[in-house]
Structure formats: structure tokens, C-alpha cells
Structure 1
């Protein structure tokens, strides 16, 4: 007969460190097939390829930030169901991370040089949100995912028309993000005070400007 092992603070610290290393420096595998599937790839003109790579690098950074946010929130979530919701969402974000990384390689590009910073900042924000309580935890999920939905819509419109592989990936990502937000709302998310969404949007614009090139 076996019993569940109780995790020590050191165990939890090592788990969080491993998650950070996997997200920032590793290549965590996606559980679901890449939505681009058999969509034909085409040779893009140099400017179009650079633009597509810049957009996909932004989306890759977004998934790095999502991992940091969700893992930080889950680490301090009080309710087991909230923690499970956050970790489930994080797994789907891992799929997105893998798909975006694949597409960057296909475009002969690379992830952002600042990924360690993006992850650390997002983890800190997630932890602080979680410490305020599960309603705030879920409120941050809703606001984050709604803002991500908006920038995915923007990218779907501005991708080079011939880049159907990137477009197929972003379509599935948008569906997933909307579902994460809906689930969080139904689970009891709080509406964040007015200044917080505005600050989040400002930080997102700064991240996108930097990540597009670096």
C-alpha cells in the first residue's frame, strides 16, 4: 500500500525552477498536433517573412508570459479546483508555445532574447494576483485572455496573406484563449478594478514592440 508523498517547500521550489527552465530554455512538446498540419508552406518574400516571424515571436512571448502567469498563480492558489483550472490552461499554453516555436524555426527565426525576463515578470505578477485570493486569480486569467484574443485578431489580419501555416496556428490559439476566459468567468472570476486592465494593456504594448524585433 502506498501513500501520496507530501511535497516540501524545496520540492515545490525545484518544480517551479524546472517549469521555468523548460519554458524559457527548453522545447516542451505539444500534446496536440500542430494545427498547421498539412497546410502547404510557401516561400515568402524577405520582408513578408521577417514580418511573419516578428508576429510569431510576439505570440511565442505571449505563451512564455502565460506560462509564467499561470504557474505563479497556481503556486499560491488556495482552492484545489482553481489550481487545477490554472494548470490545465497552462498545459494548453504549452501546446501554443510548441506550435509557435515550430513556426519560428520554419521562418528561419528565433524566440525573443528577453524570454527569461518576460517569464520572471509574469510569474511575479501571477504570484501577487494569487495571493489576493482565487477570485483575483481568475480575474487576471479573464483579462489576460481577452487581451490576447484581441491581439490574435490583429495578427490574423496583418499576417502576410500567403502565410497560411501561421494563420492556422493562431486560429486554434484564439479558440483556446476564449475558452480559458469563459471557464474562469464561470468559476467565479472577479472584475478587475479599472486601472489594472489599462496597465496590463500598456505592458502588453511594450512587450509586443520589443518582441517583434528582439
Structure 2
């Protein structure tokens, strides 16, 4: 039986760098089937641009989620918490792949600032994780609840005939709710003010930029 390899600090740095590159510049594959089953509608140009802007926001949200979860997992103290974060990150990879594919279908592209979004989220995740696993999980809950809310807004705002984007967003919303529920069950702490408000303000800025760029 082979011995378990212990990763050196350099190994860990290289792993995190590879994750960052795959998330922001690569095209990581989904592990689950593409949820969009409806026919792709012939949207007028303004409606297509609007749908693409919303899906670009969702793609950026998944880039941020990857950065946040990988940053938290890198410093998590409890192996169970680390496993929870990495499992959630895998489902976020599915969301990332689905949003990227939908952007291509809409003749659009991801945000130009994805490396910046990822770096900022990774830094926040690392800082949250250093406070302890309860805070780690608390950030998961607050992040996912805020994501659920903006996905609801997108379901209302998408062009009426764009059922393909809606099918993707509905599955994403179910996953985000489950991540938050699991984090609460695992012992998440409630984040004190003004952290949720600061997170909401940062999210609002991200959405304004990502919609166009």
C-alpha cells in the first residue's frame, strides 16, 4: 500500500495557482448534464444582450464563489469543513461551465475582470477562514443567500422567451440553497453587521461592472 503524500508549501501554492488559472482563464468541464433543454429562442439583439449581461453576472458570481471557497478551504482547520467547502466548489464549477456555455450560445463572453474578481474573493475567503470554521461557514451561508436573491431577480428580468437561461438558473438556485442549508447545519455563525451589508455593496458593484464588461 502506497504512503499518503504530504503536500509541501510549494505544492499547495501550485495547486491554488492552477485552480485560479482554470477558473478565470480556462474552461473547466461540468460533472453534471447541461440543464438547458428548451429550444434556443431567436431573441432580438437588445434582449440577447440583456440576457448575456445577466448570464455574465452569474458567471462572475461563480468565479467569486470558487475564489471564496478555495480560499476558505486552504485555511480551514476542520477536515469536515474543508471537505464541505471543496464539495460546494465542485458544484460551483458546474455552474461556471453552464454559464460559460450559455454565454457562447448568446454570442457573448465572460467578464474581462475575472482574474480580479477571483483574487479579491480568494483574499476574503482566506481572511474569513482564519477567523475559524464557524465564521468560514457563516460566509458560505451569507454568500449563498445573497446569490439566491439575485438569481430570483434574474428569473424575473430575463426575456420572457429565454427559457434556456431560466432552466440553468433554477438548478443553480437549488444548489445554492442546499449549500447554505448544509453550512447552517454544520455550525455556521451568523455574521454580525456590517459584514453582510459590505458583502451586498461589493456584490452590487460587481453586478454593475460585469453586466457590461
Both structures adopt the same fold (TM-score exceeding 0.5): yes
Distance in 2, matches of 1:63 and 1:112, equals 12
Which consecutive segments of 4 or more residues in structure 1 shift more than 2 A? Answer: none
| Cα distance per residue 1:147-204 (max 9 Å; x no partner) | 0000000000000011010000000000000000000000000000110000000000
Partner of 1:201: 200
2:105 paired with 1:72:
no
Distance in 2, matches of 1:2 and 1:177, equals 37
Unaligned ranges ≥5, structure 1: none
Distance in 2, matches of 1:23 and 1:9, equals 21
Equivalences for residues 27-42 of structure 1 within 5 A: 27-36=27-36, 38-42=37-41
Partner of 2:185: 186
Superposed CA RMSD in Å reads 0.4
Distance in 2, matches of 1:162 and 1:14, equals 44
Partner of 1:8: 8
Distance in 2, matches of 1:43 and 1:22, equals 32
Unaligned ranges ≥5, structure 2: none
Equivalences for residues 1-214 of structure 1 within 5 A: 1-36=1-36, 38-214=37-213
Distance in 2, matches of 1:72 and 1:115, equals 16
1:42, CA displacement in angstroms? 1.1
Distance in 2, matches of 1:5 and 1:90, equals 23
1:39, CA displacement in angstroms? 1.3
